[in-house]
A and B are shown apart, each in its own frame.
Chain A
């Protein structure tokens, strides 16, 4: 059940994040970007980290986890994304994947 759930989450994240063209327009409205040490504290970073996670090309390092959990889920970035990505949906799904990965490892 858990692995099916994780696979569904990964498929959703892959589909949404494949729309990102890395323009960064979303970053202009993000309230957390300037409070973090790197690009991962903004929507462009979160979307692209989520893509790497969903493709199995990155793991949940502390930098990645902090990137996802520092998001306020305010959706300000949604107003600017030319690709119409559900950025907050991607962040929530990635957090869920993280929780599942912790349950499995526990």
Chain B
């Protein structure tokens, strides 16, 4: 047993430290395909005091710590590369308070987003930020990665829904800091709450969060429409906006992706062409009018097929979500077919462009992907301009890995060229550090990185919090 693990066992007591190398490896990787070799042990705090004890020890001994939720990051945010301790927040998962009058929920960082929503649904409420990994992703992980989701166009991202935070700082006393309020209006000098959101565990260890919550929609109506021309699909969304409609979700998939995904979806939907899925939350009395408007707008813009659903339940039954849900899986199966092997990796990019540049972005992405000899799998949140182009590759083929990296860089450059950003909701981690530098330069603001390094230095003078990430 390493002296670090043995020290931690003494400090924390029984059952909160694991240093079995096999179990430690379960906390050393993530779906991006990245894996670190640095973790000595995984610690499982069960209280704020446990977190403070760990941080005091880490500070004293200058040992790096890697806070983790469920390790579903796609940017290398939670991987332990240097010798250090993984802090898994999975045992701190209480819901402390749900207050409907104040419209807040106060929760531990280790609760999974879907589990929180199951509880909130009992009161007719929800926490609306819904990353694709919401069944696994924890609130703490989503706060630290600044996560978004399908409902981003209507509800924004984590930074719009975190009102206050409690965190442990990486100083000699492991100071417990509380920032933010329990109210939407809050002018507490510099906005430290928003600074922590998206900081990827590099500035402090979040131990509690005050979240805004919102009522569940009374009813949601949906259309699923297919188009020959991407311009027509995009115009449908523009027309809906002109009709003063903000959809709850507005998802699209490019035609070839639809073709691959429908093979796996096993639904009776005549899916051909570019796909648009729109859901609008309404009061029951308005459902018929809204559904008619959605269908008419799609048909006016040359949709070939339009499927409708009066509710989320009906949309599930008819399989309206099935093709979209197979976006990621289709890339996996397609790549396995292409390479003739089971062990493949899929790189899911995450860029955002102004919605007005979306059609251009899709065309350019296809060109770039062809240039590098890959097949583009593309879906995205058309309402907020967030695109997730993905390519599959052979992780054992060095030449192909190099090509994927070059593709990745060029996709980020495209986002900047079109006035967007190289990261929308997945964060920076290690994979997008180069992208962040490019974006700072594109904005003519390399000083941005100096400011970020300065902030990091103030919060974490010894550089022990998730080292090597973000800046």
A→B interface (CB under 8 Å): 15, 18-19, 21-25, 27-28, 37-40, 44-45, 48-49, 52-53, 57-59, 61, 63-64, 80, 82-83
The verdict on A21 contacting B332 (CB below 8 Å), with A27-B70, A37-B44, A38-B44 known, is: yes
**A-contacting residues, B1-40, CB 8 Å:** 15, 18, 20-23, 25-27, 29-31, 33
B403: min CB distance to chain A, Å:
20
Q: Which of A21, A57, A63, A80 has its CB near the most chain B CB atoms (within 10 A)?
A: A21
Q: Which residue of B lies closest to A83 (CB)?
A: B332
The verdict on A61 contacting B18 (CB below 8 Å), with A21-B345, A83-B332 known, is: no
Q: Are B31 and A37 in touch, CB under 8 angstroms?
A: no
A-B contact count (CB 8 A): 85
**A15 — which chain B residues lie within 8 A by C-beta?**
342
Report the separation of the CA atoms of residues A21 and B332 in the bound assembly, to the nearest whole angstrom. Answer: 9
| Residue B127 at the chain A interface, CB threshold 8 Å | no
Q: Are B26 and A25 in touch, CB under 8 angstroms?
A: no
Q: Are B133 and A23 in touch, CB under 8 angstroms?
A: yes
B→A interface (CB under 8 Å): 15, 18, 20-23, 25-27, 29-31, 33, 42, 44, 70-72, 88, 90, 112, 114, 133, 135-136, 328-329, 332, 342-343, 345-346
The verdict on A82 contacting B328 (CB below 8 Å), with A61-B20, A63-B18 known, is: yes
Report the separation of the CA atoms of residues A38 and B328 in the bound assembly, to the nearest whole angstrom. Answer: 27
Q: Which of A22, A27, A58, A64 has its CB near the most chain B CB atoms (within 10 A)?
A: A22
**B136 — which chain A residues lie within 8 A by C-beta?**
23-25, 27-28
Q: Which residue of B lies closest to A23 (CB)?
A: B31
Q: Which residue of B lies closest to A46 (CB)?
A: B26
Closest 5 CB pairs of A and B: A28-B135, A58-B22, A18-B343, A24-B136, A82-B329
Q: Are B31 and A21 in touch, CB under 8 angstroms?
A: yes
**B343 — which chain A residues lie within 8 A by C-beta?**
18-19
The verdict on A40 contacting B26 (CB below 8 Å), with A21-B346, A27-B136, A61-B20 known, is: yes
**A82 — which chain B residues lie within 8 A by C-beta?**
328-329, 332
**A21 — which chain B residues lie within 8 A by C-beta?**
31, 33, 332, 345-346
The verdict on A64 contacting B70 (CB below 8 Å), with A21-B346, A82-B332 known, is: no
Q: Are B342 and A24 in touch, CB under 8 angstroms?
A: no
Out of B44, B133, B345, name the residue touching A25 (CB < 8 Å). B133
Q: Are B23 and A40 in touch, CB under 8 angstroms?
A: yes
Q: Which of B20, B29, B42 has its CB near the most chain A CB atoms (within 10 A)?
A: B20
Q: Which residue of B lies closest to A48 (CB)?
A: B26
Out of A27, A44, A57, A63, name the residue touching B23 (CB < 8 Å). A63
Out of B25, B27, B112, name the residue touching A52 (CB < 8 Å). B25
A and B contact pairs by CB, cutoff 8 A, 20 listed: A21-B31, A21-B332, A23-B328, A25-B135, A27-B135, A28-B114, A28-B136, A37-B18, A37-B44, A38-B42, A45-B23, A45-B26, A48-B25, A48-B29, A49-B22, A52-B25, A58-B21, A61-B20, A82-B329, A82-B332
Q: Which residue of A lies closest to B35 (CB)?
A: A22
Report the separation of the CA atoms of residues A19 and B15 in the bound assembly, to the nearest whole angstrom. Answer: 32
The verdict on A22 contacting B31 (CB below 8 Å), with A48-B25, A82-B329 known, is: yes
Report the separation of the CA atoms of residues A84 and B346 in the bound assembly, to the nearest whole angstrom. Answer: 15
Q: Which residue of B lies closest to A15 (CB)?
A: B342
Q: Are A24 and B133 in touch, CB under 8 angstroms?
A: yes
A64: min CB distance to chain B, Å:
5
